[in-house]
Structure 1
Amino acid sequence: MLRLSALGDVCNLVPTIRALQRQWPDIRITWIIGKGEYSLLSGLSGVEFVVYDKATGLAGMRDIWRRLGDTRFDVLLHMQQALRASILSLGLKANLRIGYDKARAKDWQHWFTHRQLAPHSKAHVLESFMDFARLLGVDDTRLAWELPIPDAAADEARQLAGDQPYLLMSPCANPRLRNFRNWSAEGYAAVIEHAWSQHGLRTVLSGGNSPQEREMGTRIMSLSAPDAVIDAIGATSLKGLLALINQARAVIAPDSGPVHMANALHTPTVGLFATTNPVRAAPYCWRDYVVNRYPEAVRTFMHKSPDDITWGQRVRHPDAMSLISADDVIERLEALLTDYPFSPVLEPRHEA
C-alpha cells in the first residue's frame, strides 16, 4: 500500500490494515510511508514499512524502486491523492493497482490505477480508506488499531506529566500556508482554567518546536495559572506524544494529527472544527463531541450554503476559528467527562 502522509490520515488507515489481516491472517503487507509517519507507527504488527522522505525527492524514489525492484505485488493500494505519490507508484511492480473513484481522486490519480473504488459520496476519511478493503471482498470492517507504544515512550510521558489525571491539549495544527485551523490562546486558557478549577485537572500542552507553536504555548502559559498547565511543546518524540495521549483523561485539539492519534487509542476527544468539515475529518469515534462551526464558517466567509460547495472544501479564512467560543468547548468537554468517567490508564487502550 502507498500512503505517505499525514499523521492523522495514517492513523485513520490502520483499521483497514486490521480488516485485511482478519480476512487473510497470512497476508503480507508492505506500506510505503513518509518519514515522520513511520516514526509514529513503527512497530505496527504484521506490516513491513518502506520509508520515503519527501525531502529526498526523485533520488529517494529511485532508492525505493531499487529496493523493491525484485518485488511484484499482487495488489497496490494507491491511497495517496497526490501527484508525488503517483509518480512514485510508477516504479513499483504490481498485478493490480487500485485507486480512488474519479469523484474522490485528485491530481489525476485515476490515470495511474487499473481499478477504482466504487463511488462513496460524502465519506469520512476513515471510511474512504476502508473502501479499499471492501473492494477486495472484506466484510468484517470492525475498527481496530493496536498502536504500539514502547516502554521508553510511556516513561517519557510519565516524566513530563506524572501519574495524576490530566488533559492533553495540542493547540496548533501543522503550520502550513493558509492552514487556518488554530483557535485562540485566550480560548484555550479559559478551558484550562475551567478544567483546573472545576475538576482539578492539569493541562499538558503538546506540539512541535516551530516558532508558531512555541509562541502559542508561551501565550497560553501567560494567561493560565502556573499550577494548571504543563508545557510539553517541543519536548516529546512522536511515540512520546502517543504515550501522553494514551494516558490523558481527554484530548482537546483542532483538526490535526493528535485528535486522530487519540481516536486510535480510544482516548476521549474534543475536536475543534470550523475550517474543515468534521463530517469528513472529525476523530471518527468521537464525532458527537466535536465543536462544529464549519457550516457557519461556510455561510459567513464563503457566502454559500454547505450543500453548495465541493465535498471536503476548506474555509480559507483566518477568522473562521474565532466562531468557536470557550463556552462551546467547555460544554463539549463537560459532556465528555460525564459520559466517560474513567481514570486514565498507564498501558495502551486496546479494542474490546
Structure 2
Amino acid sequence: MKPSLPVQPNHIAILRLSALGDVCNLVPTVRALQRQWPNARITWIIGKGEHSLLAGLSGVEFVVYDKSTGLAGMRALWRQLAGTRFDVLLHMQQAIRASFLSLGLKADVRVGYDKARAKDAQHWFTQHQLAPHPKAHVLESFMDFARVLGIEDDHLEWNLPVSDTARNEAKVISGEKPYLVLNPCSSARISNKRNWSAEGYASVIEHAWVQYGLKTVLTGGGTAQERETGDQIEAFCQPESVINAIGGTSLKGVLALIDQARAVIAPDTGPIHMANAMGTPALGLYASNNPNRTGPYLWREFAVNVYPEAVRTYLHKSVEDVSWGQRVRHPSAMMLIKTDDVIAKLDTLLAHTISAGSTGSTDED
C-alpha cells in the first residue's frame, strides 16, 4: 500500500544536487515549506559547488555530496545520515546517480516527479508522484513538490545570503560606478551548445558603454574555454568599457556582483538564474533551450528567444511538434541570435527598470 503524505512533517529532506540555476529556482519552494511549517527541520542534500553558492541559507541544514567521490562518497553520506529518518523525502533530481543515492536514505514516504516529467526512470524510486503539470517552468516544477504536500501560499521568496566579505570582493572588482554583469559561457559540458559569439557580446558591451555609461563586468569560471572567451571579448572592446573578472571571483562574489548590477546578460546558465533570485534585471539568450521552461522566471519576457527558429532550422519541426524540454544541440544554434536584437532587448530592459523606479525585482508577492 502506498504510504500517505505527512499532514505536518517534522523533518523534510530535499534531494537536489545540481545545478547552480536549478538550486536557485528551488529556493522559493524551501521558503514555501518554511512558511507553512516554521518549526520543521529541512535537510537539503546538495552538490559541493551548489552548496558554496547557497551556504548560509536560513533555516536549512545542508548535507554536501561531492559527485566526484562516486560510490565511496555515497556510502559516507549514508553513514552520516544512518541515524536520521525523514517524514518525507522530496526527490527533485532526475538523474540515476541521485536515485541510487536516495536508496540509502531513510524516509517514511518518497515523492518524485510524475511519469511525464521523470527522467532516468526516477518514478521507480519514489512512492508518491506529483500531479501532471504539462509545460511547466523548472521553478514551477519544484514548487509542485510543496503543492503536493498541501501548501497554497506559493508566492516567490528567495532571500539568498550575501556576506560582507562577498560584497567587498564585488566592490573591489566593480568599483563605484554602475555596471552590467555579462557571463558569456554556459557549463563546459560537451552537450551544451549555449554560447554566443565574442563579437556579439563585445558589440553589446560597447553599446552599454556609449549609450548608458555602463561598464560591463565579465564573470565565469576558470576553465580554458571561459578564459579564452573572455580574452576574445576584451580584445574587441575599448579598455574602459569592460572589466574581465573571469576566473577571478568566488561564487558568493559573483552573487554580490549580480546583486548590485543594473542588469545581467547570459545564456541559459547559473548567473542568469542567480540574477532572477536577487531581483536583478536579467536578459537571457536562448536558442538551444526553451526560455518558457528554463528562462529567468521573472524576466522571461525580456529574453532573446530564437528557440522556435532553432527548432525549425536544425530539427526541422515546429515547437508544437517537439517534446517540452527538447534541446537543440547544434553548435550553430546560438548564432541565430542577432546582435541588434540583443541590443534592442537591453534597451527595453533598462527602460523598463528605470520607469519602474528601481533596478530590482518584479517579485510576485
Q: What TM-score results when the alignment is normalised by the length of structure 1? A: 0.98
Matches within 5 A, 1:168-187: 168-187=181-200
Is residue 102 from structure 1 mapped to residue 110 from structure 2 by the alignment?
A: no
* Partners of 2:297 and 2:303 in 1: CA distance: 10
Contact in 1 for aligned 2:268/2:294 (Cα 8 Å): yes
CA shift digits 1:124-160 (9 cap, x unpaired)? 0000000000000000000000000000000000000
Residue number in structure 1 paired with 2:204: 191
Is residue 213 from structure 1 mapped to residue 226 from structure 2 by the alignment?
A: yes
1:178, distance to aligned residue in structure 2 (A): 2.5
* Partners of 2:363 and 2:256 in 1: CA distance: 13
CA shift digits 1:263-295 (9 cap, x unpaired)? 000000100000001110000000110000000
Is residue 81 from structure 1 mapped to residue 94 from structure 2 by the alignment?
A: yes
**Closer, same or farther: CA 343–23 of 1 in aligned 2, 3 Å:** closer
- Specify the SS of the correspondent of 1:62: helix
Contact in 2 for aligned 1:165/1:344 (Cα 8 Å): no
* Partners of 1:343 and 1:106 in 2: CA distance: 40
* Partners of 1:177 and 1:39 in 2: CA distance: 24
Is residue 265 from structure 1 mapped to residue 278 from structure 2 by the alignment?
A: yes
- Specify the SS of the correspondent of 2:266: strand
**Closer, same or farther: CA 186–241 of 1 in aligned 2, 3 Å:** same
Residue number in structure 1 paired with 2:314: 301
- Specify the SS of the correspondent of 1:127: helix
Contact in 1 for aligned 2:46/2:63 (Cα 8 Å): yes
**Closer, same or farther: CA 282–326 of 1 in aligned 2, 3 Å:** same
Is residue 7 from structure 1 mapped to residue 20 from structure 2 by the alignment?
A: yes
Is residue 53 from structure 1 mapped to residue 63 from structure 2 by the alignment?
A: no
Contact in 1 for aligned 2:54/2:160 (Cα 8 Å): yes
Picking from 259, 280, 294, the partner of 1:246 is 259
* Partners of 1:301 and 1:68 in 2: CA distance: 47
Residue number in structure 2 paired with 1:280: 293
* Partners of 2:301 and 2:173 in 1: CA distance: 30
- Specify the SS of the correspondent of 2:15: coil
- Specify the SS of the correspondent of 1:337: helix
1:350, distance to aligned residue in structure 2 (A): 9.2
1:25, distance to aligned residue in structure 2 (A): 1.0
Structure 2 residue runs of 5 or longer lacking an equivalent are 1-13
**Closer, same or farther: CA 349–160 of 1 in aligned 2, 3 Å:** farther
* Partners of 1:209 and 1:80 in 2: CA distance: 26
Residue number in structure 1 paired with 2:349: 336
Give the aligned residue type for 1:101: D
Contact in 1 for aligned 2:24/2:274 (Cα 8 Å): yes
- Specify the SS of the correspondent of 1:315: coil
* Partners of 2:362 and 2:223 in 1: CA distance: 30
CA shift digits 1:220-239 (9 cap, x unpaired)? 00000000000000010000
1:15, distance to aligned residue in structure 2 (A): 0.1
Contact in 2 for aligned 1:2/1:76 (Cα 8 Å): yes
Contact in 2 for aligned 1:263/1:286 (Cα 8 Å): yes
Contact in 2 for aligned 1:7/1:37 (Cα 8 Å): yes
Residue number in structure 2 paired with 1:237: 250
Residue number in structure 1 paired with 2:57: 44
* Partners of 1:256 and 1:265 in 2: CA distance: 15
Residue number in structure 2 paired with 1:148: 161
1:163, distance to aligned residue in structure 2 (A): 1.7
Contact in 1 for aligned 2:167/2:253 (Cα 8 Å): yes
Aligned residues between the structures = 350
1:246, distance to aligned residue in structure 2 (A): 0.4
Matches within 5 A, 1:55-70: 55-70=68-83
1:351, distance to aligned residue in structure 2 (A): 8.8
1:309, distance to aligned residue in structure 2 (A): 1.0
Residue number in structure 1 paired with 2:172: 159
Is residue 35 from structure 1 mapped to residue 48 from structure 2 by the alignment?
A: yes
- Percent identity reads 68
Contact in 2 for aligned 1:265/1:350 (Cα 8 Å): no
Give the aligned residue type for 1:117: L
Contact in 1 for aligned 2:181/2:216 (Cα 8 Å): yes
**Closer, same or farther: CA 275–326 of 1 in aligned 2, 3 Å:** same
Contact in 1 for aligned 2:155/2:364 (Cα 8 Å): no
**Closer, same or farther: CA 27–351 of 1 in aligned 2, 3 Å:** farther
